[in-house]
Amino acid sequence: MNPFKYGQVVFDEDFCPRPKLEKALKSHISSAQNVLLEGERRIGKTSLIYEIIRKMNKLRLLYIDILEVKTVDDFCRRIIKAIVSMEQKSGLIEKLFKSLAYLKPVMGIDPLTGTPTLSLDAAVRLKPDSIEGLMDLIHSAYKRKKLVVVFDEFQDILNVKEAPAALAILRSKIQFHTDIPYIFAESVRNRIDDIFNNPGSPFFKSAITIDVGSLDREIFGDFLQKKFLIGKRRVPQSLLDRIFEIAQDNPGDIQQLCGAVWEVTSYGNDIKDDIIPSALELVYSREYKGYEAALSQLTGQQLRCLIGLANLGGKSPLSSGFIKVTGINQPASIKRALNRLVQLKIIYKYQKEYKFINPFFRSWLIYKDF
Ligand SMILES: Nc1ncnc2c1ncn2[C@@H]1O[C@H](COP(=O)(O)OP(=O)(O)OP(=O)(O)O)[C@@H](O)[C@H]1O
Ligand SMILES: [Mg+2]
């Protein structure tokens, strides 16, 4: 079985240790210090949280994922869903039913597991005020048994029309939950800046920031080599270096490419660097339709700009070298093209550099020699 996991949360033996980060996060959780976990996509934020909670085995996790949340009603329902799922495990669902009576909950029984379930009447529309009651509910759940609250993809609360009111209510409650550790995880740096770094925001400086960066190459390299050895495959350091480079040190993408190397090799193989093209071709064969669909949305200028980024990197797209390669001679036009590519979620800007969200899309553009 392919031992490389990607596109999912990893923990336990699938989690490569991150000693410094684990220590820092653990200590903040122990002292009920609120934390903002920042980092690029697929860098391992959610996995880090799950692994730490697993290791601190006395703590319950109240995990609230607000990815793509669009309304306050949806936001509240996600909180309730998380509480229900947590309390189901501790068998306290009846208690919860009473506390939520004002929201007309419906009790049921899961036909598969026989455990009680709780759902809300779809006709009830939750408003920013409802957040207050839900935050009190979190506090009483904590009183019964200790927990850590995680708001994952927290930046998406800004999609909600009443975000300012929702944030103000959240903050007003959280500041009195001094014994509960809150973790806010966030993937897109410039947006979170609005919530935690803007003096006008109720969350201004309300959490300690931890930057989740790439994994240590040496530790991760050893981890990956051991995984290859499960199938008696030996990989040289030079091959790992090449994989790290192509995947731009992103652990999710590194695992994806290692998984492809595993698939194009066999038990007992001494793998050499020249395996990379066939591993990449396997990745492309699964993803090229997505790449083509992305390209079909682009104008000629946007496409030239993207190819320029693939070939020259995204550190200085307004330089004369870039202008020459793309043939777009108006910096304003390049800027417009870059903005559009960001909007289409093909590239993103991180620490003044434009990068491909999917590094394999980049290498495919180079491979195809557009
Ligand atoms: N510590 C780790 N050890 C091994 N692999 C890891 C580790 N952290 C992350 N990964 C790899 O990265 C992938 C993405 O991890 P995870 O979902 O935790 O990232 P994330 O930062 O929460 O991503 P997103 O922003 O998309 O939610 C995992 O499926 C796994 O392949
Ligand atoms: Mg995540």
Q: Are 53 and 174 in the same domain?
A: yes
Q: If we measure between CA atoms, which residue out of 150, 8, 6 comes closest to residue 83?
A: 150
- Report the CATH number at residue 352: 1.10.10
Q: Are 91 and 157 in the same domain?
A: yes
Q: If we measure between CA atoms, which residue out of 10, 40, 18, 22 comes closest to residue 155?
A: 40
Q: Is the per-residue pLDDT at 127 higher than 60?
A: yes
Q: Is the per-residue pLDDT at 93 higher than 80?
A: no
CA dist 345 and 294 (Å) reads 9
3-state secondary structure 10-39: CCHHHCCCCHHHHHHHHHHHHCCCCEEEEE
Residues of the chain above pLDDT 90, percent: 75
Residue nearest to atom 17 of ligand 1 (CA): 9
What's the predicted TM-score (pTM) here? 0.91
Ligand 2 centroid from CA 3, angstroms = 21
Pocket (CB within 6 angstroms of ligand 1): 5-10, 15-16, 18, 39, 41-47, 187, 215, 251-252, 255
- Among all bound ligands, the one having the nearest atom to the CA of 43 is 1
Q: Are 322 and 199 in the same domain?
A: no
Q: Is the per-residue pLDDT at 333 higher than 90?
A: yes
Residue with tokens 């959490």: 207
Domain membership of residue 3 (yes or no) is no
Q: Are 265 and 303 in the same domain?
A: no
C-beta of residue 323 within 8 angstroms of C-beta of residue 283: no
Q: Are 342 and 225 in the same domain?
A: no
206 band by pLDDT with thresholds 50, 70 and 90: very high
Ramachandran quadrant class, 157 (left: phi over 0; alpha: psi -120 to 50; beta: rest): alpha
**Summary mean pLDDT of the chain:** 92
Ligand 2 centroid from CA 83, angstroms = 19
State the closest ligand 1 atom to the C-alpha of 5, by its place in the atom list counted from 1: 31
Q: Is the per-residue pLDDT at 190 higher than 60?
A: no
CA dist 141 and 90 (Å) reads 11
pLDDT digits over 36-57, tens only? 999 988 999 999 999 999 999 8
Domain membership of residue 7 (yes or no) is no
Q: Are 262 and 316 in the same domain?
A: no
Out of 264, 279, 296, a domain closes at 296
pLDDT digits over 274-309, tens only? 999 999 999 999 999 999 999 999 999 999 999 999
Domain membership of residue 87 (yes or no) is yes
Structural domains in the chain (count): 3
CA dist 259 and 168 (Å) reads 45
Residue with tokens 């396997």: 282
Q: Are 160 and 63 in the same domain?
A: yes
Q: Are 261 and 338 in the same domain?
A: no
Q: Are 90 and 125 in the same domain?
A: yes
Q: Are 164 and 204 in the same domain?
A: yes
Q: Which span out of 37-46, 197-206, 250-259 was modeled with the highest average pLDDT? A: 250-259
- Report the CATH number at residue 146: 3.40.50.300
Domain membership of residue 360 (yes or no) is yes
Residue 89 confidence (pLDDT): 75
For 182, the domain range is 17-212
C-beta of residue 306 within 8 angstroms of C-beta of residue 341: yes
Domain membership of residue 36 (yes or no) is yes
Q: Are 255 and 367 in the same domain?
A: no
What's the half-sphere exposure (Cβ side, CA atoms, 13 Å) at 55?
A: 20
Domain membership of residue 10 (yes or no) is no
Least confident window among 16-20, 187-191, 217-221, 293-297 = 187-191
Out of 296, 325, 350, a domain closes at 296
Average pLDDT over residues 158-174: 94
CB count in 10 Å sphere of residue 154: 29
243 band by pLDDT with thresholds 50, 70 and 90: very high
Average pLDDT over residues 170-198: 87
Contacts with 316 (C-beta within 8 Å, 6 or more apart), sequence order:
322
Out of 212, 247, 274, a domain closes at 212
C-beta of residue 166 within 8 angstroms of C-beta of residue 20: no
Q: Is the per-residue pLDDT at 90 higher than 80?
A: no
Q: Are 84 and 191 in the same domain?
A: yes
